[in-house]
C-alpha cells in the first residue's frame, strides 16, 4: 500500500493523475430521456472543473479525466493520485469512490464545490482536500506532492484573479458525448438571494476572465469540433458593462467564424430591462437562457431578497426576452414562508402563460452555509437531515410556515402532474410561439441527425401516447412558420423527458407513502 502513496525518492518520473467525476443521481436536471434522443450523447455537460485542474498540473504530469456519467471508471488504474470531485448531489457517490480507492492504497484527493463549501465533511475520507478555487492552491499541492510533503487541506482564503486561470484541458474530455461544451467567463454574483450558495463560494463581486482568454477557449473548442457551448457562469450579467463587452466580443467572434457556436447561459431576470443587452445576446447567437424566477409573488421574492425580479411584471420580462428570439428556461421554488397552498395555482398560471417548458420547480431547501440555513436553524425550522443538496427532491430540510409539510409535498407533486399532461405541454408551446421571435441560430446537427432526432421523438415519445398525444403534437406543428419547427421539436423532447422522470419518481413516492401508511397501521395494531 505504501508504495502507491509515494514513489521512491530518487526515481523521479512524471506523476500520473486520474481525475474522476462521480455519477450524478438522476434528477429533473439530468434529462436522461432527452439525451437518449440525441445522437451519440450520454450527458448534458462535461466536468469543466476537472479540465481546469488538469491544466493547472505541471507540464510533465500525465493526466486522465474519467466522467462516470459517460464511461466506466477503472478499478485498478496505474496512477499515483486519484482525484475525485463533486457537487453536493454527488457527495454520496464521491464518498464511496474515495473510500474504495483509498482502501486499495491509492493517494486520494477530494475537491469540487461541496468540498469547497464543507471541507469538514471530508475528514478521514481523503488524503488531501482541495477547498476553494484551485488556481493557486492546486499547483501548491502538486509541488508538495512531488516533494512528498502534501498537506491534508489546501484552502483558498484569498481572491483568485480569473486572468490567472488557464485554458482548460478540453482535449481530455470526450466532448462528443455531451450535449454542451462548457466555458466559464465569470465567478460571483452581485445579488443576495437568501437560499443561494454561489455567493457563499464565489462572493458578490463578479470576477471575469479577459476577452483574450475567452477567445483562446473558444478557438480550442472550435478546434475540437464543439458546436453548442454553455457559459456556465451563475449569472453572466453580474457586471453589466463587462457583460456587454463580452457579448460584443462574442458577436464579432461569431461573425468571423460564420456563427459556428450555438450558445446558452444563466442570467438574472433584470436582463429584460436592457434592450441593448438583449440585442447583443441575439447577435452573439445565444439561443437560450436559464433564469431563476423562483416565484411570482412579490412578498415571497422580497422575503428571499430576490429584488432583481421585482422591476416589473415577470410575464412582461419573459416575453420581452422571447421577442429577441431567446428561449427562457427557468427555476421556481415553492415553500417560501409567504407561500400558502395558493402558491401552486399561481405557479401553474404563470408557467402556462409564459409557455416555459423547462420549468425546474423545487421545494425551498436550506443548503449548508447559506443565510437561509442560518436563519432557519435559529428559528428551529430545520429538519435534521444534512444530506439535502438538491432542491428538486421530493423532500426538504425546511419546516414550512404557510402550510403543512405534507401539503407542500402533495401540492408540488400535483403541480408537476398537471404541467406534464399532453394538453398542457401543447398549450405552453403555443403560448411561447406567440411571443418568440424567429430564432437566430443555425442547427448544430446535420440534416440526417436532425431527422433521426425527430424519428426517435415520434417513435419513442409521441406514438406511445396514443392518438390523443399524436393530435396534441400535430396541433403544435408550426406549418406556417417552419423556422419554429426546431423549437417545437425540442419543446416536446424536453417535456417528455421531464414526464418520463416524473412518472417514475412520483410513482415511487406514492408507493413509499402507501408503504409508510401500511406500516404505521400495522405498528398501530401491535400497540
Ligand atoms: S441571482 Fe442567482 S447566483 Fe445570484 S445570488 Fe441569486 S440565486 Fe445566487
Residue with CA closest to ligand 1 atom 6: 193
CB 91, CB 114: distance < 8 Å: yes
Residue with CA closest to ligand 1 atom 8: 196
pLDDT, tens digit, 9 for 90 and up, residues 452-504: 999 999 999 999 999 999 999 999 999 888 889 999 999 999 999 999 998 88
Q: What is the DSSP string of 235-276?
A: -TTSSHHHHHHHHHHHHHHHHHTTS--EEEEE--GGGGG-HH
Query: Atom of ligand 1 at shortest distance to CA of 268?
Result: 1
Tell me the CA–centroid distance for residue 298 and ligand 1, in Å. 17
pLDDT of residue 17: 98
Q: Is the shortest distance between the CB of 198 and ligand 1 below 6 Å?
A: yes
Rounded to two decimals, what is the model's pTM?
0.92
Query: Atom of ligand 1 at shortest distance to CA of 190?
Result: 4
Query: Atom of ligand 1 at shortest distance to CA of 266?
Result: 2
pLDDT, tens digit, 9 for 90 and up, residues 201-241: 999 999 999 999 999 999 999 999 999 999 999 999 999 99
Q: Is the shortest distance between the CB of 268 and ligand 1 below 6 Å?
A: yes
CB 136, CB 164: distance < 8 Å: yes
Query: Atom of ligand 1 at shortest distance to CA of 196?
Result: 8
Residue 317, number of CB atoms within 10 A of its CB: 21
Q: Residue 32: which of 502, 446, 511 has the closest Cα?
A: 502
Whether residue 250 is predicted with pLDDT greater than 70 in this model: the reply is: yes
Q: Residue 217: which of 275, 256, 180, 171 has the closest Cα?
A: 171
Give me 278's grid cell: 438583449
Amino acid at each position: 500500500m505504501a508504495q502507491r502513496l509515494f514513489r521512491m525518492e530518487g526515481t523521479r518520473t512524471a506523476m500520473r493523475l486520474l481525475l474522476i467525476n462521480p455519477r450524478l443521481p438522476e434528477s429533473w436536471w439530468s434529462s436522461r430521456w432527452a439525451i437518449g434522443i440525441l445522437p451519440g450523447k450520454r450527458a448534458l455537460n462535461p466536468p469543466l472543473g476537472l479540465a481546469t485542474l488538469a491544466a493547472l498540473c505541471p507540464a510533465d504530469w500525465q493526466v486522465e479525466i474519467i466522467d462516470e456519467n459517460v464511461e466506466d471508471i477503472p478499478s485498478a488504474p496505474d496512477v499515483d493520485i486519484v482525484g475525485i470531485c463533486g457537487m453536493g448531489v454527488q457527495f454520496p457517490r464521491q464518498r464511496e469512490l474515495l473510500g474504495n480507492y483509498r482502501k486499495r492504497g491509492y493517494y486520494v484527493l477530494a475537491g469540487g464545490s461541496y468540498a469547497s463549501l464543507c471541507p469538514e465533511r471530508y475528514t478521514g475520507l481523503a488524503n488531501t482536500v482541495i477547498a476553494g478555487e484551485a488556481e493557486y492552491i492546486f499547483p501548491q499541492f502538486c509541488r508538495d506532492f512531488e516533494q512528498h510533503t502534501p498537506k491534508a487541506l489546501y484552502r483558498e482564503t484569498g481572491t483568485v484573479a480569473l486572468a490567472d486561470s488557464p485554458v482548460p484541458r478540453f482535449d481530455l474530455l470526450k466532448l462528443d458525448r455531451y450535449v454542451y461544451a462548457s466555458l466559464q467567463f465569470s465567478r460571483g454574483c452581485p445579488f443576495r438571494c437568501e437560499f443561494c450558495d454561489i455567493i457563499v463560494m464565489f462572493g458578490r463581486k463578479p470576477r471575469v476572465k479577459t476577452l483574450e482568454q475567452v477567445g483562446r477557449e473558444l478557438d480550442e473548442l472550435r478546434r475540437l469540433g464543439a458546436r453548442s457551448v454553455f457559459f456556465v457562469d451563475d449569472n453572466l450579467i453580474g457586471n453589466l458593462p463587462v457583460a456587454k463587452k463580452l457579448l460584443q466580443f462574442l458577436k464579432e467572434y461569431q461573425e468571423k467564424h460564420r456563427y459556428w457556436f450555438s450558445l446558452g447561459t444563466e442570467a438574472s431576470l433584470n436582463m429584460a430591462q436592457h434592450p441593448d443587452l438583449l440585442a447583443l445576446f441575439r447577435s452573439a447567437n445565444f439561443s437560450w437562457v436559464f433564469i431563476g424566477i423562483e416565484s411570482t409573488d412579490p412578498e415571497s421574492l422580497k422575503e428571499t431578497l430576490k429584488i432583481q425580479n421585482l422591476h416589473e411584471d415577470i410575464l412582461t420580462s419573459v416575453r420581452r426576452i422571447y421577442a429577441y428570439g431567446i428561449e427562457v428556461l427557468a427555476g421556481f421554488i415553492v415553500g417560501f414562508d409567504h407561500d400558502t397552498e395558493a402558491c401552486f395555482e399561481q405557479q401553474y398560471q404563470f408557467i402556462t402563460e409564459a409557455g416555459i417548458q423547462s420549468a425546474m420547480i423545487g421545494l425551498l431547501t436550506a443548503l449548508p452555509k447559506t443565510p437561509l440555513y442560518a436563519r432557519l436553524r435559529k428559528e428551529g425550522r430545520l429538519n435534521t437531515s444534512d444530506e439535502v443538496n438538491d432542491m428538486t427532491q421530493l423532500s426538504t430540510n425546511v419546516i414550512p410556515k404557510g402550510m403543512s409539510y405534507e401539503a407542500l409535498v402533495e401540492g408540488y407533486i400535483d403541480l408537476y402532474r398537471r404541467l406534464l399532461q399532453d394538453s398542457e405541454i401543447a398549450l405552453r408551446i403555443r403560448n411561447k410561439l406567440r411571443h418568440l421571435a424567429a430564432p437566430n441560430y443555425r442547427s448544430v446537427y446535420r440534416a440526417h441527425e436532425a431527422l433521426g432526432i425527430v424519428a426517435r421523438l415520434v417513435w419513442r415519445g409521441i406514438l406511445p401516447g396514443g392518438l390523443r398525444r399524436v393530435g396534441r403534437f400535430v396541433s403544435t406543428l408550426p406549418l406556417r412558420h417552419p423556422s419554429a419547427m426546431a423549437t417545437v421539436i425540442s419543446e416536446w423532447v424536453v417535456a417528455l423527458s421531464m414526464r418520463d422522470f416524473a412518472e417514475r419518481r412520483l410513482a415511487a413516492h406514492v408507493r413509499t407513502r402507501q408503504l409508510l401508511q401500511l406500516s404505521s397501521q400495522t405498528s398501530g395494531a401491535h400497540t
